[in-house]
Amino acid sequence: MFMRRRPLLRAAAVGGTAYVAGRHMANKQAEQQYTDEDQEARISALEQQQAPGYGQQPPPGYGQPPPGYGPPPPGYGQPPPPGYGQPPSAEPEPAAGPSIADQLNQLVELHKQGALTDEEFAAAKAGVLGGSG
């Protein structure tokens, strides 16, 4: 007699589990359907709020300047003159460097320190004086 109960118990357990799983899926589907219907209702309401002006002609004067604005200035809407927006073609000014006197004083200091020989000093001095004129 005890052997007969096991198949019944197993069948009851499997059947109960299947019932619970099916019920859970049915509840989940019902909840999803409710959410979808609610979302569709909200979208529909928003579309109806926006719909009255959609597709109609704009009011008269739409896109025109407000009253009080005069005609555009002369040359408005015309292409710019040739060369407009181009950098000036004048030669750049020479970079401001140390003056000739400063350069000579620096050479004298280097000569006194022994960094320049007499020949190097004479050549550098001739370069500074010759390059300025």
Cα→Cα distances 39→34, 36, 42, 87, Å: 9, 5, 5, 60
Three-state SS for 71?
coil
What token pair was written down for 66? 């407000």
Q: Give the mean model confidence (pLDDT) for residues 91-115.
A: 82
On the 0-12 / 13-18 / 19+ scale of CB atoms within 10 A, 32 is exposed
Measured CA to CA, the distance from residue 100 to residue 106 in angstroms comes to 10
Per-residue pLDDT, 32 = 93
Measured CA to CA, the distance from residue 37 to residue 30 in angstroms comes to 11
Fill in the amino acid letter for 5.
R
Nearest of 128, 98, 133 to residue 111 by alpha carbon: 128
Three-state SS for 43?
helix
Per-residue pLDDT, 35 = 93
Per-residue pLDDT tens over the stretch 26-69: 899 999 999 999 999 998 888 877 766 666 777 777 777 777 77
98 touches 131 (CB < 8 A): no
Per-residue pLDDT, 92 = 59
